[in-house]
Structure 1
Amino acid sequence: ATLLARKGRCVVSLPGGCVIGDRPVDLHLRGLEALGATVEFEGGNIILTAKDGLKGAEIDLRGTHGPTVLGTDNVMMAATLAEGITVIESAAAEPEVLDLANFLNSMGAKITGAGTRRIVIEGVKELKGVEHTVIPDRIEAGTFMAAAALAGEGVTLNRVCRDHMKAITSAIEQSGHRVDFNEAGDSCTIFRGENLQGVEITTAPYAGYPTDMQAQMTALLATTPGISVIKDTIFPQRFMHCAELKRMGADIKVDNGTAVVRGVTQLSAAPVMASDLRASAALVLAALTAKGSTEISRLYHIDRGYEHIDEKLLMLGANVQRVKDR
């Protein structure tokens, strides 16, 4: 989007990423076409051209499973340097979208409404360089929150944002653990609960429970007493981690985008394979309390979403070691 807005033409390969179900880019392309771009496909590449520049337009980004986060980002960035006013309806309201808008505004963009379902962008001629601090990663924070609930003893997480973590915090507290935030809401301490119970979780666009924390919560609930039900409405096929957790002794049945988890007393070590980014994190969490040494292959997926996760776990006292795939 930024290349197209600045140069009028760009060629990018068809996107990849984690195999977690259908992830079409049609909404991205539809938004750019509404701004005046021409879209062509050739040899596995997408060719985007805007010979006469991009023009403001009204764009609805409503998708089958809810708003598109990166589609909203792409259209917002392209519209920033387009001529005229662009209105995005059914926009994603995730904190990351608002953070991007704040960053662009500090560079000279004119964006209002970010963080709501309706964003208005008045195009500008140019942007200037700035320094910007990115907001905390709520999914990384949620992952370590789940790790602390599984195996911790009063683990404190710094540089988090309480307001962005409400759905994740609520799910962990409902299962019986305790999460204490400081007054500023930028630090929290997690205490493993004694009276644990199953929960029901349904993923949803922000401010609902994030699909990117579904696998990690499944790992936590695998050894939580009672029955838990996890429904993923965003990516109904995103349950490949469940087969690997079952190899470790988890009692999970998946059907039609819903996992029913019956908590067991303990998991056991087994050779397992990571299929995607969040599945990798789920298997690492499960291995923390499994009996024996668990070997996770294809763990490279995890590095796309977590910086030095093995080093951070070592600091917390976990026994982890990164080895090269055989």
Structure 2
Amino acid sequence: MSKEVIKVRGGKMLTGEVDISGAKNSAVALIPASLMASEGEVLLEGLPEISDVTTLMSLLNDLNISTDLDGTNLRIGAEEAENMPLPNTKVQSLRASYYMMGAMLARFRKCVIGLPGGCPLGPRPIDQHIKGFEALGAKVTNEYGAMYLEAEKLTGAKIFFDVVSVGATINLMMAASCAEGRTILENVAKEPEIVDVASLLNNMGADIKGAGTDTIKINGVEKLHGTRHSIIPDRIEAGTYMIAGAIAGRNYRVNNIIPLHMESLTSKLEEAGVKIETGDDYMVITRPEKYKPISLKTQVYPGFATDLQQPITPMLFLAEGVSKITETIYPARFRHVDELRRMGAQIDKNSGTALIYPSMLQGAEVYASDLRAGACLLLAGLSADGITTIHNVGHIDRGYTDIVSKLQSLGADIWREKL
């Protein structure tokens, strides 16, 4: 992790405008999907400037795939791609490395890849991915901590997901794009990032229908080609900045968002008393004089995103009453609670639920256990009395483009220091 800390001095009002970057959860699938283009170049526009992007570029380079990153635009040339085992150290640095499985299986019919890493959010098995690959005709084995996938050919199949999974939906959508015949995926995830990946694949020559619904139908094609694709805005980054505005904003504008993607958060912020003016691709947010307590439950899209469960917690300490969070996606996703308690927070947690009591937060030394926990602690620092020092900021840099500079431009007293 980075040998830096982020420091926040609380109590500053935020005002001005912030532009949201491209979606992390799209980018980490779009980049692997690009290796499926056996002809021509793929140009991805508007990528977030985060460490996960550079890690995935490095994985492509290991396969003899050319990458050229110019700001937020990435050119990928995969015509000369070679199938090589992928190094465990890189794969273990991000969960989404598992998308290399579906893409490589589609392109090469086999791959060897280390088990994925990423944020420690408790059990997140890839059994639905494996079940789907096997249904398409692949043999999947786990040997010495690496996954071996191989298929003489991929054949379309009807696959029902026992658990709604974004990762498995995207992985099987990629693999099935180059399978013989038709594949029907049922009980799939509906997230906007899935629609974004399907759009890229279709522009590359795939035949995918139904992305964004609970059934996706894919007619396999022989090969895919290059294209140009603009990524959607990051709804989790947008949500994080919306919450920052809810905590400390006055005439505070969030640009480059798709309001439809934010509805579950918007409704909860308004329920808490936050004033929100919505435009075609922006929102203006003003904190209320008094906050009302709320109850929320994380759910698959279009429900309240689990990735915003941690970031919204600091706002709830400002409410005049007890709020309740129920985490249904990753019940262990409460590792930020102990760090918030260092700041004087009153929270009771028990088996996937947390009760948040009104609390006056104090600056403290805290440690980010994962990406969204880091965002939570940073937002907590905005309202805390004194200076909050956040360690393990490499977690934050995995998912947020230049978050310190963006918050500084809004008036936050925030900076980085080397240890």
Partner Cα distance (1:243, 1:222) in 2: 15
For residues 40-51 of structure 1, the aligned pairs below 5 Å read: 40-50=141-151
Write the distance in 2 (CA, Å) between the matches of 1:224 and 1:303: 29
What is the identity, as a one-letter code, of the residue corresponding to 1:321?
Answer: W
TM-score after normalising by structure 1: 0.96
More RCO (CA 8 Å, sep 6+): 2
The alignment of Structure 1 onto Structure 2 pairs a total of residues equal to 318
CA contact (8 A) 1:219 1:282 kept: yes
Counterpart AA for 1:111: I
Amino acid at match of 1:57: A
When normalised by structure 2's length, the TM-score is 0.75
Superimposed CA distance per residue, residues 110-165 of structure 1 (whole angstroms, 9 cap, x where no aligned partner): 11111011000000111121111111110000000000111121210110001100
Give the counterpart letter for 2:157 in structure 1: A
Unaligned ranges ≥5, structure 2: 1-101
Question: 2:363 aligned with 1:269, yes or no?
Answer: yes
- Partner of 1:221 in structure 2? 316
Alignment match, 2:155: 55
- Residue 224 of structure 1 deviates from its aligned partner by 2.1
Please, which of 286, 293, 296 is the counterpart of residue 380 of structure 2?
Answer: 286
- Aligned with residue 187 of structure 2, among 64, 69, 90: 90
Say if 1:62 and 1:90, in contact at 8 Å, map to a contact too. yes
Pick one of 345, 353, 363 that aligns with 1:250: 345
Per-residue CA deviation, residues 252-273 of structure 1 (Å, 9 max, x unaligned), is 0001100000122x21001111
Q: Is the 8 A contact 2:291 2:318 kept in 1?
A: no
Q: Quick one: distance in 2 between partners of 1:195 and 1:220?
A: 11
For the 8 Å contact 2:198–2:208, the answer to whether it is kept is yes
Distance in 1 separating the partners of 2:121 and 2:400:
18
Separation in structure 1 between the aligned mates of residue 172 and residue 296 of structure 2, nearest angstrom: 31
Deviations 1:150-186 (CA, angstroms, capped at 9, x unpaired)? 112121011000110000111111111011111x2x1
1:9 is aligned to 110
User: Percent same amino acid at aligned positions?
Assistant: 47
> Aligned partner of 1:241: which letter?
H
| Residues 314 and 379, structure 2, Cα contact 8 Å, conserved in 1 | yes
Question: RMSD over aligned Cα, in angstroms?
Answer: 0.9
Cα offset for 1:193?
1.0
8 Å contact kept, 1:223–1:267: no
SS at match of 2:223: coil
CA shift at 1:5, angstroms? Answer: 1.1
Query: Do 2:293 and 2:322's aligned partners in 1 also have CA atoms closer than 8 Å?
Result: yes
Tell me how far 1:189 sits from its aligned partner.
0.6
Deviation, structure 1 residue 304: 1.1
**How far apart, in 1, do the equivalents of 2:356 and 2:328 lie?**
17
Other structure's SS at 1:132 match = strand
Q: Does 1:74 align with 2:171?
A: yes
Alignment check: 8 A CA contact 2:290 2:319 kept: no
Distance 2:311 2:387 in 1: 19
1:216-274 superposed Cα distances (whole Å, 9 cap, x missing partner): 1112112222110000000111001111111101110001100000122x210011110
Structure 1: gaps spanning 5 or more residues: none
Give the 5 Å matches for 1:47-196: 47-50=148-151, 52-63=152-163, 67-182=164-279, 184=280, 186-196=281-291
Contact 1:177 1:190 in 2 (8 A): yes
